[in-house]
């Protein structure tokens, strides 16, 4: 298992899509893979100091079960099929959905994104942020956590070209 | 079975049992045994896969009342 390598490109900036890169990277590191994540476009949100920017939106997402994380079992089992038109009009709908999702995550013993991200860093998963997108979106390096490297596509290929597993998320 | 360290991963979900086990294995010596408790049904396959890929030996897997017990010997 020595010398196996994995690279991930993380391009999504929502709470739900924050999970796959960090789960896979931390697990790969535990299995002995040398691992890098390249954060680009909306994926940059995953390496912000402030993770409260990560939200989940049920709007236009028919695959997302809408279930309540509290109450008796029959109540938790109900799938609240709320039409997109209503979701779009109710102020704060996304914030409520995000709070409910965070509660569901905690109820199920699933780690928070902050915890998983720290576990990745402890396991020496290398984080690279796309410098072009940092500028494009008007971010400052001070918006991001310590330990990031900044680079471009060529930097990604330098490592990705030698990997056993390479994922675009 | 005798063991040198115990890890309680009950209530934790993927990938935390594996990550905690990796950490616990780092704290014991080669040939020593780690006992792991878990309630995640996915951990049965995951610990077998973890053992296969890391070279640590999974000595036994047992289930009782929704709780899983693993004994893993460090490489």
Which of A3-7, A33-37, A63-67, A165-169 bottoms out in mean pLDDT, i.e. has the lowest? A63-67
CA distance A102 to A72: 19
Q: What's the pLDDT tens digit per position in B1-11?
A: 899 999 999 99
Q: DSSP string covering A5-24, please? A: EEEEEE---SHHHHHHHHHH
**What's the pTM?**
0.88
- On the question of pLDDT at A1 being above 60, the answer is no
- pLDDT higher than 90, residue B71: yes
Measured in angstroms, the CA of B36 and the nearest CA of chain A are apart by 16
Let me know if domain A5-53+112-168 sits in CATH 3.40.50.300: no
Query: Could you tell me if A109 lies within 8 Å of chain B, comparing CB atoms?
Result: yes
CATH number at residue B10: 3.30.110.40
Which tens digit of pLDDT belongs to each residue from A57-89?
A: 888 888 888 888 989 999 998 888 888 888 888
Number of structural domains (chain B) is 1
B-chain residues within 8 Å CB-CB of A23? 14-15
CB contacts, 8 Å: B55 with chain A: 1
- Give the rounded percent of residues in chain A with a pLDDT score beyond 90: 72
Helix (H, G, I), strand (E, B) or coil at A66: coil
Which DSSP state fits A110?
P
- Whether B13 sits inside 8 A of A110 (CB atoms) is yes
The predicted-structure confidence for A89-118, as pLDDT tens digits, reads as follows 888 888 999 999 999 999 889 999 999 999
CA angle, A95 then A101 then A104, to 5°: 145
Q: Which of B10, B19, B53 to mutate: most A Cβ within 10 Å? A: B19
**B17: domain range?**
5-73
Mean pLDDT to the nearest integer, B46-72: 95
């Amino acid at each position: 298992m020595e010398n196996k390598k994995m690279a991930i490109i993380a391009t999504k900036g929502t709470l739900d899509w924050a999970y796959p890169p960090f789960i896979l990277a931390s697990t790969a590191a535990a299995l002995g893979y040398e691992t890098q994540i390249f954060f680009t476009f909306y994926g940059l949100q995953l390496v912000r100091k402030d993770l409260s920017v990560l939200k989940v939106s049920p709007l236009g997402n028919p695959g997302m079960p809408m279930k309540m994380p509290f109450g008796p079992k029959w109540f938790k089992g109900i799938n609240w099929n709320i039409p997109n038109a209503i979701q779009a009009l109710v102020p704060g709908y996304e914030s409520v959905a995000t709070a409910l999702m965070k509660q569901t995550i905690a109820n199920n013993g699933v780690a928070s994104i902050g915890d998983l991200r720290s576990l990745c860093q402890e396991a020496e998963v290398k984080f690279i942020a796309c410098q072009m997108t940092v500028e494009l979106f008007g971010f400052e390096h001070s918006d991001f956590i310590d330990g990031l490297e900044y680079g471009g596509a060529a930097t990604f290929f330098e490592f990705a070209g030698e990997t056993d597993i390479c994922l675009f998320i | 079975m005798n063991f040198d360290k115990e890890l309680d991963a009950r209530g934790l979900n993927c990938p935390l049992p594996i990550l905690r086990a990796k950490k616990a294995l780092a704290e014991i010596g080669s040939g020593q045994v780690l006992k792991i408790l878990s309630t995640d049904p996915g951990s049965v396959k995951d610990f077998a896969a973890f053992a296969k890929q890391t070279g640590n030996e999974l000595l036994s897997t047992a289930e009782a009342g929704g709780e899983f017990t693993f004994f893993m010997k460090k490489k």
